Structure 1
Amino acid sequence: MNDDCVVSATPSTQALHYRNFTPADIPTAHALSMTFNWPHRPEDWQFAVEQGTGFVAAENSVVIGTALCWKYGTDRGSLGLVIVSPEHQGRGIGRKLMELVLEELGPRITFLHATPAGRPLYEKLGFNVCDSLDQYQGNVGETLPVTLPDDERLRPATITDSPALIELATRASGLERKTMVSALLEKGETVVLERDSEIIGFSILRRFGRGQVIGPVVAMRSRDDLRAKALIGYWLNGREGQFIRIDVPCGASLADWLVAQGPKCVDTTVKMVRNAPAVAHRGAPDPVYRLYGLISQAMF
């Protein structure tokens, strides 16, 4: 789109216009998200903007709405951080912002996680529910040990691990992850799971919101999701009393294990898809490697 899209049909919209999101908009976007008690820090907004693109709605030069999107490879994308200030809702601003990001993404198969308030609009724009996730967060309590088989071990990641981690993340998510995982490896701490010198899983811990977030978490499938538990438990151990968040796609058997260590399920959110049948995107996309923890609900 052009840098500015002006809407000036009536007095109520006379000063309303839409433009590209810039880094200078981060303080106002952060303030908007705080209005809805979202946990994002300015640094979290900055990371999201650096990895993607987006648009704002501004009235009298004041940002009153945002929407961001991210492109993965040539045919996938996601969107999120769609916010309209409470005082300006009901004027079609959210729909217009959504139309702008969907125009930016074009025919890509596009995913989002929907709040109950946003879901009706997304359905009107062609999205259908394909899955769900559970959001866990809270202070870590007494941690439970996880015993791996003798031929498997956890170790800190090294720079030479990057290609393998990118491949695993791409397989487990169904999204091209080179740029995103490379950025996360610089931003957070990473542990890998090795079996006979082969990497079969990894997880990343980084600062986010009220504390720290664990994600992505990728592991080769195992009985009772033991490998995923080991990759998550690595970060829980020694962090008693600290605030941790993890967003877990449906289908993993982590619920009781996570709750026993402090984090509670505080929300269940639907995943939606556009430009593809919902049935084609239900469940995990890879039969061997599974995504057990998301980067974020917006960037997956």
Structure 2
Amino acid sequence: MQRSVRLKSFELVARDIDDVDVKLLHALSISVRWPHRPKDWELLRRAGRGIVAVDGIGRVFGSAMWFPHGNDFATIGLVITTPRTQAQGGGRWLMDLVLKECGDRSLTLNATHAAYPLYVSLGFTAEATVYLRQGEVLQTLPVPNLDGELKALSSDRLKEIAALDTRAFGTNRERLLALLSEDASIYTLSRSGEIVGYSMCREFGGGFVIGPIVARDELDAIHLTAVHLKNLIGRFVRVDSREKDGAFAEFLQKSGLDIAESVTTMSKGRRFLNREHNEPWVYGLASHAFS
């Protein structure tokens, strides 16, 4: 796959994302109104690999990242192109480069409405909708009675939730959880001494994101979310969830987190989402890029 492409009147060259000033990546995300701060970009670069499209004087016109989990699976995210390059095929060129790097891995991503046709043409299949819920947390939270024990978990004890997360997510992502936990508050929910769910909350963009949220049912997911929200009254919070209806979605709505937009979870290779009764489920995503 060629590492440069000519788009009408100018040429773009592919460069490793680690070789580009994070200020330029921040400017790129601002140009498409994505909320990522320089610090968020730094975390993304530590978690995965990526390519940026750069012109002859060093300006960044696009990006695409992938986040490997073992040798057979990866998530794709931060696929950003300026309107000028998107209209001229820059997004496809970046995706072709990323797919080559990913090799034979099964893949998943969360597609914006604008990018959805591109991913379909590349062989991705739609599986579910992700609803981005955000807003300022209301003063009164509609929390039901707690069944179990909520406890804070320190980042050096992630092994205690690793197996539960793998069952919910479908593959081991301990390295990612370790990176997320560095600046996150973590809570677990236990019954009879067994951890049945966990959640993380960290700063992101102009506020906070709660995720991952892993639980066996909606009520557990509510408590694992509420334990963070109670400390964020009046603050801007985001939760990305595939739950459109039901008790968990209603709780988020009544807590002040309205649906701002939606994206589509898509996969290439093996099916990504495999929900089973009474098994742990990802009620809140780590992020659109990490899934």
TM-score, with normalisation over the residues of structure 2? 0.93
Partner in structure 2 of residue 126 of structure 1: 123
Letter in 2 for 1:290: W
Q: Please name the residue that 2:252 is paired with.
A: 258
2:5 equivalent to 1:18: no
Q: Confirm or deny: 8 A CA contact 1:41 1:208 kept in the other structure.
A: yes
**Among 183, 186, 189, the residue aligned to 1:190:** 186
Whole-Å Cα distance in 1 between the matches of residues 171 and 277 of structure 2? 11
Query: Match for residue 146 of structure 1?
Result: 144
Secondary structure of 1:194's aligned partner? strand
Q: CA deviation at 1:137?
A: 0.2
Q: Offset at 1:287? A: 4.8
Residues paired across the two proteins, number: 288
2:241 equivalent to 1:248 = yes
Please point out which of 271, 275, 279 is paired with 1:284.
Answer: 275
What's the CA shift for 1:284?
A: 2.3
User: 1:64 and 1:159, CA in 2 relative to 1: closer, same or farther beyond 3 A?
Assistant: closer
C-alpha change, 1:218 and 1:23, in structure 2 (3 Å) is farther
- SS of 1:175's partner is coil
Task: Identify if the C-alpha distance between structure 1 residues 252 and 51 changes in structure 2 by more than 3 Å, giving closer, same or farther.
Answer: farther
1:267 is matched with which residue? 261
TM-score, reference length from structure 1: 0.90
Measure how far apart 1:161 and its partner are.
3.2
- Deviations along 1:252-290, whole A, 9 cap, x unmatched? 7312111111110111211111123xxx44452685111
Once the two structures are aligned, what percentage of the paired residues are identical? 34
Structure 2: unaligned runs, 5 residues or longer: none
| Letter paired with 2:193 | S
The match for 1:80 is 77
Corresponding residue for 2:170?
Answer: 174
Deviations 1:116-141 (A, max 9, x none): 11011111111110112111100000
1:101 is matched with which residue?
98
Structure 1: state its 5+ residue gaps.
none
- The corresponding residue for 2:114 is 117
Cα distance, 1:44 vs structure 2:
0.8
Counterparts of 1:269 and 1:178 in 2: how far apart (Å)? Answer: 25
Say whether 1:68 aligns with 2:59.
no
Local SS of the residue matching 2:166: helix
Alignment partner of 1:39 out of 27, 35, 48: 35
Is the 8 Å Cα contact of residues 155 and 182 (structure 2) preserved in structure 1? no
| Alignment RMSD (CA, Å) | 2.0
**Alignment check: 8 A CA contact 1:5 1:18 kept:** yes
Q: Which runs of 4+ in 1 moved over 6 A?
A: none
Residues 22-61 of structure 1: CA distance to partner in whole angstroms, max 9, x if unpaired? 1533211111111111111111111111100010111112
Alpha-carbon distance in structure 2 between the residues aligned to 1:202 and 1:252 = 21
Aligned-partner Cα distance in 1 for 2:129–2:153: 30
Contact map agreement 2:131 2:244 (CA 8 A) in 1: no
Structure-to-structure mapping, 1:213-224, within 5 angstroms: 213-221=209-217
Shift of 1:88: 2.9
